[in-house]
Structure 1
């Protein structure tokens, strides 16, 4: 007579059941190996969690995912790990995605692909039945990746549009220039911190947790996620409009903008609380619990099979990294710097190559020539480093001929930096097309990209509101007349031989 081997009751109690230990040891070894393989992706994510307030909540994702898994531990009753090689097929796709993201210079893509490879490695060792039982905590791990920064410019413009629409509706005199909005009481700037990204990302993470805990229906979960995405964006626009209206009634833009981020978090907390209360009548967490899966009819896997499956997954995950190592790392490469040929506007002098002096301001320009093997990530990282990554800074763009300069003014107004890039003799905006062209260029060689940097600095330090406006106008005037200077110079230096 044949017998069916089932896990002992200790599985439900949270202890490691007999027969699971080899699989868990192999899984831990696989995770350690993957952590070493993707150390750059992990380090970049942790740095972003620590540096950016929009992603501070990522520190809670692993504990929350562990809690979700613990709440679902009863689903593992009667299950043994069933390693399979089938997950090597989607792992191959994730590995190719990592390679494409590495050549395109998109760190978020690399991190998402690395996370997918990690989850697939776990599923290959444990089997699809255990993966299905733990689908919720595994899916929640996606919030470990600090994604969404690409949406900041769009969110800034949505916020500015809502402010302008509200002022028009209320009949308040105003003037809007891109992200700068002026009313009689002063000037408001829709900085990156005002875009609402931190509210939106935190809301999505909370909404996903709320949906997984309180609802079972896929339709209701998707509805919660949609609301968690849309409501914070609209609420942030109303919050920004409220600050402008407060400045209008107080007669001081500076007084209204003081501690606006603190007010924003209070407002955001109230909005989230209202969403939670609205969802409570439709909760399904009290519904009848689904029965645990049927007892497994297979014996625990042999260590040799576990090691073979894990080794296959690691080989698939490591193959793109080995190829990149052979080609040369795309993120390394120190650019060479040359002085830019700046044209001095009226009232400014040129005491040295690449330097202008306009009254109490110093304008400098230089061109950075990157080696051909780098990916666009190196160009973006250097531009962000030179411009500063403070999300309280004022950002705007200036069109000069075919080029578009991305400009940023520091929170105290003492420094403005504008950057533009060229590739193969043409302006490059840093989008997918430019990244793809440089990705191919990094493989076949040729002239590398060129980054032009023009900065305006005040030796006296912090500037008042009126001076900041004049400084931005001066930078615009300088950039608009540089078509025959740095623009042509950068195009020539980046052109293929």
Structure 2
């Protein structure tokens, strides 16, 4: 008896996938090695920050989305193209701009863009289009959004204060610190709701891709994934303050506030999912289309396309290396602090009641880019979690950024460039990048002040903040003018 076996799909039988997949794998490996710093920074952030723990799931989710769309590849075969590798030069340029500005997230976005170009060049535009959803989901590998933390903290603070006014509860607000009769609440980074916002956006994108086909409905889901967690976080934070008011203890209300937060946001997320179910479109069957006309398969070209894409992508790091060649490391020195009332100088260290203060100054070369300045700023603040309290202290001639975290020294950092205060925003980064390219004389300067409570003393966070304010105010006539003068190239 003769048995006729079913024919294998055309793509598996004669589509020429072996060399293109090999070229794609080698190209991704080369990009990982070439941009190792970006990969390591992303993985370290996933591991350190609770706001980006979901990033570990992005690759498995993207792989699952690709598997769900495997039927789209039945009539397709790889169509490598050298021309489609040319956009890698644009991604390399974007990486170089981000590197000169010291924006790690921008460098990581550029790396994801290079991966997209690699897929496009090696497999062809038809396959890239068929896999557009899983490729787009790779954007969540980048731990972005931290820049929005101050804005989210401000929104949360305003919602809490509005609720307290509406309910007639007496309060006193000093920056991100709220005092009510039941105790003191801090609107720390964790209270900003960034972890909930980013996780909701990632889930919302997955929900939109799986449950809906209409671009309008998908965009609406993403919009709700941004707006709802911001508002919900303000309500959550207000609820914790109200709980402290009724319990008569701020500490008792805030003891398990993160657990309360995750439970609250799980309920919010469930309600969003249930609200979208009546409008789901995942059961609709796409209209079948005729097989596209394709050029003859040239699988061997895939290796050349992969090599070209990686080679063009390498132009960014090569150019950065040339620009940084010969730039000296920053000059670091311990400096003496002016002593406020209640503190006494002991060499370069100040002894205050129950705490010790010290400072160091870092002067960068005029040709340094802001990547080095940003890295030094992060290193000075230490690897802290998002339970820390961050706030700004602005005085004439200086903008201090202060970070306070339990169990670590309190750190204040200020930057100058060309004789003027320089924040960590885009303006200062761009000015330094252009000055370095033109051979200017202005140099970035960082001043770092640390206030460490004595080991034997029980730290009082409120007292330490007051002491830090007094300490920074006392530097108006000493360290602040000196740092500004050095930054002007004098």
Identify the TM-score tier after normalising by the shorter chain. Answer: over 0.9
CA distance in 2, matches of 1:60, 1:293: 35
Give the aligned partner of residue 283 of structure 1: 280
CA distance in 2, matches of 1:102, 1:336: 22
User: How far 1:293 sits from its partner (Å)?
Assistant: 5.5
Give the aligned partner of residue 490 of structure 1: 483
Q: How does 1:92-241 map to 2 (within 5 A)?
A: 92-241=89-238
CA distance in 2, matches of 1:134, 1:369: 48
Give the aligned partner of residue 360 of structure 1: 354
Residue 481 to residue 67, structure 1, CA distance change in 2 (3 Å): same
Alignment partner of 1:474 is 2:471? no
Instruction: Find 2:16's aligned residue among 3, 14, 19.
Output: 19
CA distance in 1, matches of 2:218, 2:330: 48
CA distance in 1, matches of 2:355, 2:22: 63
Q: How does 1:388-403 map to 2 (within 5 A)?
A: 388=382, 389-403=384-398
SS at match of 1:33: helix
SS at match of 1:483: coil
CA distance in 2, matches of 1:297, 1:108: 38
Give the aligned partner of residue 4 of structure 1: none
Residue 257 to residue 151, structure 1, CA distance change in 2 (3 Å): same
User: How far 1:461 sits from its partner (Å)?
Assistant: 5.5
Contact conserved, 2:366 with 2:442, CA < 8 A, in 1?
yes
Aligned length: 484
CA distance in 2, matches of 1:215, 1:462: 58
CA distance in 2, matches of 1:381, 1:187: 33
Once structures 1 and 2 are overlaid, which stretch shifts more, 308-317 or 217-226?
Answer: 308-317
User: How far 1:338 sits from its partner (Å)?
Assistant: 2.5
Q: What is the RMSD of the two structures over their aligned residues, measured on CA atoms?
A: 2.2
CA distance in 2, matches of 1:180, 1:366: 28
CA distance in 1, matches of 2:456, 2:413: 22
Residues 315-359 of structure 1: per-residue CA shift (max 9 Å, x gap): 2111121111222279x9653323334222223222223x22222
Contact conserved, 2:397 with 2:480, CA < 8 A, in 1?
no
Give the aligned partner of residue 309 of structure 2: 313
Residue 211 to residue 403, structure 1, CA distance change in 2 (3 Å): same
Residue 14 to residue 90, structure 1, CA distance change in 2 (3 Å): closer
Give the aligned partner of residue 328 of structure 1: 324
Give the aligned partner of residue 267 of structure 1: 264
CA distance in 2, matches of 1:327, 1:257: 49
Residues 294-325 of structure 1: per-residue CA shift (max 9 Å, x gap): 1544321141x323322322221111211112
Residues 145-196 of structure 1: per-residue CA shift (max 9 Å, x gap): 1111111111111111111111011110001111100000100001111111
In the superposition, the TM-score normalised over structure 2's length comes to 0.93
User: How far 1:440 sits from its partner (Å)?
Assistant: 3.1
CA distance in 2, matches of 1:247, 1:470: 22
Contact conserved, 2:153 with 2:188, CA < 8 A, in 1?
yes
Give the aligned partner of residue 457 of structure 1: 452
Residue 48 to residue 329, structure 1, CA distance change in 2 (3 Å): farther
In the superposition, the TM-score normalised over structure 1's length comes to 0.92
SS at match of 2:288: coil
Alignment partner of 1:440 is 2:434? yes
Contact conserved, 2:94 with 2:110, CA < 8 A, in 1?
yes
Contact conserved, 2:10 with 2:75, CA < 8 A, in 1?
no
User: How far 1:10 sits from its partner (Å)?
Assistant: 7.2
For structure 2, the 5+ residue unaligned runs are none
Instruction: Find 1:298's aligned residue among 282, 295, 298.
Output: 295
Contact conserved, 2:79 with 2:299, CA < 8 A, in 1?
no
SS at match of 2:78: coil
SS at match of 1:300: coil
